[in-house]
Amino acid sequence: MKTFISRIALAAFGAALCTSTAAVAQEAAPCELHIWPAERMNSVTTGLLGGGLLDAAIHSGRDASNKASLASALDSPSQLEALESVNLQELLQLKPGTVLVKHETPLERKTMNKVKTRRSDSTAACYSELIVADVFYQKAAIYGRSLRTLFMLREFDSAQKIAFEYKAWGGNGLKLFPPKEGEDSIAALDELVTVFKKNFEEYAANARKAIAARPAPKAKAKG
């Protein structure tokens, strides 16, 4: 009888130990931030005509050249490297130990707002996404040259539903890009990467404000 009881006690202890171990493992599982680069590059130059078809036709050759330069300086690996080089942990107030998961293949731009589920196969309980939506060069007769970047941050809850989403532009001026004939083209391309980072830092500052302003999650009702 004592042996039988001992076996029951041992089995119960083993089950409790397994449950405890699983719970600890779940708690210890790191958070994940999945990052995607932009698929779309664009360049728009407006002159004194202020835009329109004629303005677009006049500057079409230059804009095509600018788009090619953007795609060269800010290809997928370069975008990911630039984002990894800034302090994402601090800028986005990520939880300690968050793992960065980089995806080199951009998401289709047209699906970005439509798809409300996770864009990766991860089932991590603590999961978020940072998506670069657009990289946009603009030259205006009055405002000068600038690089604008559209970012989107999404956090998912344990039920794999979007708990928080923030999408906004970051934009800063350019001094070297696009280079004129005889100017340093390497420095101009490097400037694009530098300003891309500044754009993200600007975006992240506004994202932190949005995160701080969001309502606290509702407490679960007691049964």
**Residue 14, pLDDT above cutoff 70:** no
**Residue 24, pLDDT above cutoff 50:** no
Q: What are phi and psi of 114, to 5 degrees?
A: -80, -40
pLDDT of the residue at 193: 98
Q: Please report the sign of the dihedral spanned by the C-alpha atoms of residue 209, residue 210, residue 212, residue 213.
A: positive
Burial class (CB in 10 A: 0-12, 13-18, 19+), 2: exposed
**Residue 93, pLDDT above cutoff 80:** yes
Read off the pTM. Answer: 0.81
pLDDT of the residue at 141: 78
pLDDT of the residue at 28: 62
Every domain of the chain and the residues it spans:
30-213
Q: Which residue has the higher pLDDT, 153 or 60?
A: 153
Grade residue 20 by pLDDT with cuts at 50, 70 and 90. very low
